[in-house]
A = this chain, B = another copy of it.
Amino acid sequence: MTDHEALADSYQTLRRDLHRHPEPAWCEFYTTTRLIAELESRAVDEVRYGPDIHVPDTRRNVPDSETLAEWRERARAAGASEDVLAELGEGFTGAVAVVDRGEGPTVALRVDIDALPIREADDDTHQPAAAGFRSTNEGYMHACGHDAHATIGMGVLDRLLDSEFEGRFVLIFQPAEETIAGGKSIAASDVLDGVDALLAAHIGLDHPSGEIVAGIDGFLAVRQFRAAFSGESAHAGARPEAGDNAVQSMAAAIQNLYAIPRHSAGATRVNTGRVGGGTATNIVPESAFLDGEVRGETTALMEYMWEHAERVLDGAATMYDCGIDVDLLGDAPSARSDRTLAGVVADVARNTVGVDRVFDRDTLGGSEDATYLMNRVDETGGRAAYVGVGTDHPGGHHTPTFDVRESDIRVAIDVLAGAASAVFAGRVDDG
């Protein structure tokens, strides 16, 4: 067994352990403690976690205490460190490692770590099931590759620790990306202070193994919300007039949210992806909710949608004399990859074994809260690029049969570590 293969084995072990323990947003207790243990076994200068890397008020959509407690308990049962768990408190998950090698650029890498509420496939054509590392948290699954992302982060760290460079390397394991709820909090903290170049990465995205997208653009700015309508119930046969019908308000809102006018300045989106209300056929429903989102090709377009959506929600509540409560669940701005930094990534990728094809840019079409971090770095004079790493994934993202080709983790490590090294070597300023 070569050194390289041994290394690869340890990454496979890590990835599969994380895959076995998928945890939803803000509940990544096991994942965080596991990653911290890894970091503490390495020669990093600083490992940060807990409230220290967050700004509490900017955390969105944190589950209630009961849910957090339940996941903490699962993590404990899976062997999570009690001391670390205590620090993570009420969902202050995620971790940051810093390697400080004196004067030179500061390069950051951001990977995300949370999983999805999807039941993983259990038949033998699904590799994690066949190879024995299927989710042990039934109903939850790493169906978007964040287990691979965390592993890639650890691999890049190792590669840099083994290399010569001058400057600072900041590795960020971000929680709560799936609910676009964690990026804002990390971006608001001091974690990104002084970062000159930020790399973020995602595996798959409909690119097969061998393809690299050097700098993804086209992140749709997004805002997700819950609108809760509250009226009055009444017997639908005996006293229909006594009710204030929250479901009628909800339906009027749905119809008119989708009907918000399109915008000539670019793409917009709206969806009411989850709705519900009422208790029984014969009761005028006193409560109803809709979980919705608006998006825009730019943040301004998303705000245009949001302003209109607020009017629709207000109007719908007014119509049926219902109260309305709108909670923001998560949001993310739009962002663009810096073309110079992306150029460096592309150059590195073209010289990486296992890469067949390099795209300078591609469009995401979805949303990502890495954009909070990218914009923060951009605003303070740094550069950010969001790198796509192709992988042959059998099922689509967010489906029960999603999986990654594990050898692509190594490709990702090579490209990202190479790009970081190039920045340390001053290649961005040459570009």
Contact = CB atoms under 8 A, between A and B. Distances in A.
A317 interface: yes
A15 interface: no
Closest 10 CB pairs of A and B: A258-B259, A315-B319, A236-B271, A315-B318, A251-B254, A238-B365, A276-B276, A315-B315, A274-B278, A241-B263
A320 interface: yes
B276 A281 contact: no
The interface residues of chain A, by DSSP majority, are classed as mixed
A252 interface: yes
A94 B238 CA distance: 27
Nearest to A256: B319
Given A311-B321, A314-B318, A317-B315, A265 B281 contact: no
Interface in A266-287: 267-285
Taking each of A237, A271, A295, A312, which has the highest tally of chain B beta carbons within 10 Å of its own beta carbon?
A271
A224 interface: yes
Interface stretch (A107-115, A242-250, A349-357): A242-250
Contacts of A292: 281
B247 A272 contact: yes
Contacts of A89: none
Interface in A188-229: 220, 222, 224-225
Contacts of A275: 247, 250, 275-278, 285, 288
Nearest to A225: B281
Contacts of A243: 261
A257 B311 CA distance: 19
Given A117-B280, A248-B256, A275-B277, 17 more contacts: A222-B237, A224-B281, A240-B262, A241-B261, A243-B261, A252-B252, A255-B255, A256-B259, A262-B267, A267-B267, A271-B282, A271-B283, A274-B281, A275-B276, A276-B277, A282-B366, A311-B319
A42 interface: no
A265 to B, nearest CB: 7
Taking each of A222, A236, A245, A270, which has the highest tally of chain B beta carbons within 10 Å of its own beta carbon?
A236
A316 interface: yes
A365 B269 CA distance: 19
A48 interface: no
Contacts of A269: 236-237, 240, 262
B263 A240 contact: yes
Taking each of A247, A276, A288, which has the highest tally of chain B beta carbons within 10 Å of its own beta carbon?
A247
A313 to B, nearest CB: 9
A74 interface: no
A304 interface: yes
A271 B284 contact: yes
A285 B254 CA distance: 12
Contact of A252 (B239, B240, B255, B262): B255
Contact of A256 (B222, B252, B261): B252
Interface string A289-305: 00111010000000010
Contacts of A304: 241
A34 interface: no
A259 B320 CA distance: 10
A329 interface: yes
A50 to B, nearest CB: 28
B220 A237 contact: yes
A41 interface: no
A264 interface: yes
A84 to B, nearest CB: 30
A101 interface: no
A282 B240 contact: no
